[in-house]
């Protein structure tokens, strides 16, 4: 039986880790809300997940996470349908070998990998806080890239791998700042390093990097099985402001623990996303 307390949101749910994770979370019942860009792929994922977990209710919310307007529309629809949301898992990510500018004038990887999750989370904060014990989980990486606040959009200088690394560092900075801001509310925020997964994320990366990574990567189902407990298990109910890998907390790069940098990114993100 669907209950408001079991509403779980997954971005990037049409492929890779996100799709596998949504299917595994659906096995616990309740409602799985898929945030997806492509209608056909979203319906394919919905059908597969519903067939694998008939006890779950699967919903689709169409949004391109690089579009602030799309995110506002999906976030409004989600919070309108569900005044209490149990969890949000940010799985969506992109890698682009070239600098691509979004319709909002933002660099694509910064917009999709960081600012989109930032805006969606903020839009859903009232529903997450109303739940009382909600969880926000972001797939990240132990990136040591430092953000260039004078050129966040890579206008002056763009390097694909550096820009991608910066977006992953931003995931950690966002997570730790969110955890601090939500302290005492019952809402927890953590990041997880999924390790190497067999997905299409890095298909535009150089072959010298792409080929060995593919050989060492695990299937998405196996990776998702290591992530699902952070949403479902009581063991992690009170964990917050942590970075996990294979079920255990790990030390993030020291730069991402700098509270001044965390706060600065949050405030810049508020301005760029139009968050009050």
Q: d(Cα 26, Cα 33) in Å, to the nearest integer?
A: 10
Sheet containing strand 243-245, strands side by side:
56-62, 30-36, 7-11, 87-90, 135-139, 188-192, 243-245, 248-249
| Number of separate domains in the chain | 1
Per-residue pLDDT at 162? 95
Q: In sequence order, what E strands does 3-110 have?
A: 7-11, 30-36, 56-62, 87-90
Consecutive 10-residue averages of pLDDT for the chain (276 residues): 68 91 95 96 95 94 97 97 97 92 97 97 98 97 96 96 95 98 97 72 50 57 92 96 95 98 98 94
- Host domain of residue 37: 4-273
**What's the CATH code of the domain at 132?**
3.40.50.720
Per-residue pLDDT at 209? 53
Per-residue pLDDT at 218? 64
Query: Number of C-alpha atoms within 13 angstroms, CB side, residue 245?
Result: 9
Residues 171 and 61: beta-carbon distance below 8 Å: no
Q: With 0-12 CB in 10 A as exposed, 13-18 as middle and 19+ as buried, what is 17?
A: buried
pTM for the full predicted model? 0.91
């Amino acid at each position: 039986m669907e209950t408001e307390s079991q509403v779980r949101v997954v971005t990037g749910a049409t492929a890779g880790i996100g799709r596998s994770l949504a299917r595994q979370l659906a096995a616990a019942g309740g409602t799985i809300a898929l945030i997806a860009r492509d209608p056909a792929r979203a319906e394919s994922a919905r059908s597969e997940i519903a067939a694998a977990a008939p006890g779950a209710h699967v919903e689709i919310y169409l949004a391109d996470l690089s579009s602030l307007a799309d995110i506002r529309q999906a976030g409004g629809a989600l919070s309108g349908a569900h005044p209490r949301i149990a969890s949000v898992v940010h799985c969506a990510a992109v890698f682009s070998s070239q600098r691509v500018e979004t319709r909002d004038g933002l660099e694509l990887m910064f917009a999709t990998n960081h600012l989109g999750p930032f805006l969606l989370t903020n839009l859903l904060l009232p529903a997450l806080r109303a739940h009382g014990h909600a969880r926000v989980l972001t797939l990240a990486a132990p990136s040591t890239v430092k953000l260039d606040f004078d050129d966040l959009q890579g206008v002056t200088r763009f390097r694909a791998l550096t820009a991608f690394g910066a977006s992953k560092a931003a995931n950690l900075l966002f997570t730790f700042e969110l955890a601090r801001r939500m302290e005492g509310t019952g809402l927890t925020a953590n990041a997880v390093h999924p390790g190497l997964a067999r997905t299409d994320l890095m298909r535009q990366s150089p072959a010298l990097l792409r080929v060995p990574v593919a050989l060492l990567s695990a299937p998405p189902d196996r990776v998702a099985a290591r992530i699902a407990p952070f949403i479902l298990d009581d063991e992690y109910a009170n964990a917050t402001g942590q970075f996990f890998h294979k079920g255990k907390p790990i030390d993030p790069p020291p730069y991402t623990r700098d509270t001044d940098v965390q706060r600065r990114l949050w405030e810049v993100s508020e301005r760029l996303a139009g968050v009050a």
